[in-house]
Structure 1
Amino acid sequence: MTWFRCAETRPWASMRLFCLPHAGGSAGFYRSWAKEISPAVEVHAVQYPGRADRLAEAFVTDAHQLARLVAGAMAPLLDRPVALFGHSMGAVLAYEVARLLQERGGPPVHVFASGGRPPHDRGDDRVADRDDDGVVAEMVRLGGTDADALQEPELRELVMPYVRNDFRLIEDYVHRPGPRLTVPLTTLVGDADPHVTEAQAARWGELTDGRFALRVFGGDHFYLVPRQSQVLAEVMRTLEVPAGP
C-alpha cells in the first residue's frame, strides 16, 4: 500500500506539498485542500499504517522510524521541489522528515509546523497511558473532529488502537542532536490552543538557520479546519505560488 493520497494529480504542478496528519488522524483530513490550493501545487497527504485503507497494516511505534519510512517513500516524488506541512504530531514528523531529506541532499523548500510543541520542548503529558475514556476526554479537550465519533462503542473499538498508538509514539519521541535545519520554517498556531502556547510555538525558530515566521490564527488546536482558507492563503503566499482556483 502506498504512503500518500493525492486527491488531484497535477502533472503540470511546479511543486508538491506533503501533509502529515495529527495523532489519530488520516490522510482524509487534508482531502479538501486540493480544491482550494493553487493549481501550481500538488497535495500529497500521508496515510499512516493501521487506519483507514491501511487498517490491516501493523502500526509504526517509533517516530524516527516513521519519519524514515515517509522520507523513503517520497524518493520517487522528489523530481519537483517539495514542501512539508504537519499538524500536531505531524509537525514533529515533518521536521524529522525534513532533517532526513536535507541529510540526503534534497531538502524541502519550506516546512510548516502547525499546532505542535517544538521537538526539543515536548512536555511530559502521558495521554497514551490513560484508559479509553481518558484518551477520548483529551481529544474532546483539543477539539478534534474525531472525538464525537468515539462515543460510539463500535467505532471506538476500531479507532482507539491507532489513536493510542499515535499518542504513545509522539509522547515517547525524544529529539536527537544533529545538524540543524537550513530551510525556512513557519509555525502556525491557534490563539486558544490548549496544547501549545505562542511562546512554545516560537521555540521552533531555534531549530533552523533558515528564515523563521510565527503565524497566529483565531481558534483552538484544530483552528485550521474553520480557518482553512486563511491557512492555505498563508501557505501559498509563503511558497510564492499564485492563489488557488
Structure 2
Amino acid sequence: MTIAKTTRDVRTTGSPWIRRFHTAVRPQDAPVLVVLPHAGGNASFYFPISRDLAPHAEVLTIQYPGRQDRFGEPSPETVTGLVDEVERALRPWLGKPLVLFGHSMGAVLAFELTRRLERAGTAPRGLVLSGRRSPLLPEEGTTHIDGDDALIARLGELSGTDPQLLADPDFRQLILPSLRSDYKAIETYRYEPGPLLSTPVSVLCGQSDPRASVAGSMDWRQLTGAAFTFRSFPGGHFYLAEQHDAVVRALTEDLVAFAGA
C-alpha cells in the first residue's frame, strides 16, 4: 500500500517557484506532474489535486511571485518571462518523466513551456490543458489597464475566489499587483506559429465556461501531431473544483496513457 505524508506548503525543492505539498512511497520512475495555476491563482488552490494524485505521481505546483509567502515580489508581466522562470526552476527535474498541467493562464504557460522543451530535446511525457481555449483564437482584453474595481469584478465573474475575500479592502490590496501582472501577461500574449507539438495532449474544460467554450477548447487539437484527448465536465471556469473527483480520475488516466505513449 502506498503511504502519503502530507504537510502544508512544503519547501524542500530548492526553488521559491515550486511547492511540493505531498511525498509518497512510489516507484522511482513515477511521473512528475507540474501544475501551473490560473491568473491570480496560488499553489495552495491545487493542494487537493496534489493530495489525491500523490499515490500516482510526484506533484510539483508552481507558485508565482506576489502571492502567499511571495507577497511583495514582482511578477513577470509577459508569458515569456513567466515561462523563463518556470523553466529555470524545473531544470533539476528535466531528466524525469514530466507531465505539464496548466489551468487557464497556466494552460498557455504549459503549452509554451512544452514548445520550448521540445526544441531543447527535453520534451515532457504529456501535456494537460484546462480551462483555456486554443491560442489560435486570440484573447483580446484590457482588464490589466482597467481600474481596480473592474479587475476585481472580472475575478469575481469566474467564481474562483470567495466573494467575501474580494470585498475585503486589505485582501484586495494584497492581490491586485500580482493579479494585474497576470492579466497583462495573458492579455498581451500572442501565439507565434511554429511546428506542431510532438507531445500527446489532453484537454479538459467546463461545459459552461464563459472564457473557454467546448468548441474553442477542442481547437487545441490543431496544435499537436501526437495523440489528442478531450473531456468536458459540468461546471464553469473552475469546474475542476466543482468536479474534483472526476478531474482526478481524468488526470490519473492521462498519467497512465502518457506512460504508454
Using the size of structure 1 for normalisation, the TM-score is: 0.93
**Structure 2 residue 158 is matched with structure 1 residue 142:** yes
**Structure 2 residue 231 is matched with structure 1 residue 211:** no
- The residue aligned with 2:75 is 59
- The residue aligned with 1:5 is 19
> Runs of 5+ in structure 1 lacking a partner?
none
What is the distance in 1 between the residues matched to 2:204 and 2:148? Answer: 29
Identity %: 37
What is the distance in 2 between the residues matched to 1:37 and 1:161? Answer: 32
How far does residue 190 in structure 1 lie from its aligned partner after superposition?
0.5
What is the distance in 2 between the residues matched to 1:72 and 1:16? Answer: 16
Asked whether the 8 Å contact 1:38–1:236 carries over to 2, the reply is: no
What is the distance in 2 between the residues matched to 1:103 and 1:205? Answer: 20
Mapping of residues 1-245 of structure 1, within 5 Å? 1-10=15-24, 12-13=26-27, 14-240=30-256
> How many residues get paired?
241
Asked whether the 8 Å contact 1:19–1:43 carries over to 2, the reply is: yes
What is the distance in 2 between the residues matched to 1:45 and 1:147? Answer: 25
- Tell me, what secondary structure is at the counterpart of 1:32? helix
How far does residue 153 in structure 1 lie from its aligned partner after superposition?
0.5
> Runs of 5+ in structure 2 lacking a partner?
1-14
Asked whether the 8 Å contact 1:139–1:147 carries over to 2, the reply is: no
Q: Taking CA–CA contacts closer than 8 Å with sequence separation of 6 or more, which of the two structures ends up with the larger relative contact order? A: 1
- Tell me, what secondary structure is at the counterpart of 1:44? strand
Asked whether the 8 Å contact 1:127–1:135 carries over to 2, the reply is: yes
- Structure 1 runs of 4+ aligned residues shifted over 3 Å read 10-13
What is the distance in 2 between the residues matched to 1:107 and 1:146? Answer: 37
How far does residue 128 in structure 1 lie from its aligned partner after superposition?
1.4
- Tell me, what secondary structure is at the counterpart of 1:80? coil
Counterpart residue identity of residue 93, structure 1:
L
Asked whether the 8 Å contact 2:102–2:128 carries over to 1, the reply is: yes
Worse overlay, 44-53 or 31-40: 31-40
| CA RMSD in angstroms, aligned pairs only | 1.5
Counterpart residue identity of residue 211, structure 1:
A
How far does residue 68 in structure 1 lie from its aligned partner after superposition?
2.0
Counterpart residue identity of residue 196, structure 2:
R
- Tell me, what secondary structure is at the counterpart of 1:236? helix
